[in-house]
Amino acid sequence: MGIFHFGTTSFFNFSFLPRYLSFFVKGIEYTLLLSVTAVAVAVFPALLLAIMRLSKNRLIRSISGAYIAVFRSTPLMVQLSLVYFGIFGVIRLPAVTLFGFINISMFIPGVVALALNSAAYVAEIFRAGILAVDIGQTEAARSLGLSSWQSMSDVVLPQAIKNVLPALANELITMVKESSICSTLGMMELMWGAKTVASTTYITLGPYVLAALIYFAVNFPASKGIEAIERRMRRGDKK
């Protein structure tokens, strides 16, 4: 009964939409911008960490391994809190607002925390992509007189990046979902909009159902698109 009537606890009570639709529109815009920026920022340190993990130097390998272990073994909520209250508690950012709803003093800490976390996972994606390149490619490059670094940057990495593109796209989808944790610090992404509407209107389920539908509408087609790209890439490799 509670599911189908249109009271405050109904799954299908969207009576808040005419007044609060902008919360969800801005929320998904903020979520997508936060996610894309975080993954983009994570790519370079992740690539560096992956190369360090493959180094012959034990100390360099240990530093990379320690970073990956720490960020993969601790909750993202803890990492976000340490970055927001620790690093950016000391480094004060100006309270500048872009596009009317992106507060730089909150957006940048969110990007940094998500990027640091994502880098640990993307590093392993890059490492797997590099290892998937046939060792003969490196040997051929070295036989042509290329240095170890030239072999890596000019021969191995271009092939590795092609291998990891679908996995990077999947990481972006994961980040869209994980960015919801930023709502706990008041960042105006999609979950923050849902919580704000729920607490303001006392409609306890409708806002969260709408948020879930929006996440699904973004992530499901994206995941199917990635699967199609992977199939096409596999067919291209077989040829």
Q: Which of 109-113, 124-128, 132-136 has the highest mean pLDDT?
A: 109-113
Are 67 and 96 in contact, with CB atoms under 8 Å apart? no
Instruction: Classify residue 74 by its DSSP letter.
Output: S
pLDDT exceeds 70 at position 5:
no
| % of the chain beyond a pLDDT of 70 | 88
Q: Residue 127: which of 182, 199, 73, 51 has the closest Cα?
A: 51
Q: What domains lie within the chain, and their CATH numbers?
A: 30-187 (1.10.3720.10)
pLDDT exceeds 80 at position 134:
no
**Rounded CA separation 30/238 (Å):** 40
**Rounded CA separation 53/63 (Å):** 8
- If you write DSSP's letter for every residue of 94-160 in order, what string do you get? P--EETTTEEHHHHHHHHHHHHHHHHHHHHHHHHHHHHHS-HHHHHHHHHTT--HHHIIIIIIHHHH
What pLDDT was estimated at residue 1? 41
Length of the chain: 239
What pLDDT was estimated at residue 2? 44
The three-state secondary structure class of 13 is coil
pLDDT band per the 50, 70, 90 thresholds, residue 162: confident
Predicted TM-score (pTM) above 0.75: yes
pLDDT exceeds 50 at position 3:
no
The CA radius of gyration of the chain, in Å to the nearest whole number, is 22
pLDDT exceeds 50 at position 129:
yes
The three-state secondary structure class of 15 is coil
What pLDDT was estimated at residue 34? 93
Cβ neighbour number for residue 14 with a 10 Å cutoff: 17
Are 194 and 211 in contact, with CB atoms under 8 Å apart? yes
pLDDT exceeds 70 at position 204:
yes
State the first-to-last Cα distance of the chain, in angstroms, to the nearest integer.
Answer: 57
φ and ψ of 103, to 5 deg: -85, 115
pLDDT band per the 50, 70, 90 thresholds, residue 210: very high
What pLDDT was estimated at residue 165? 82
Q: Residue 188: which of 81, 104, 78, 91 has the closest Cα?
A: 104
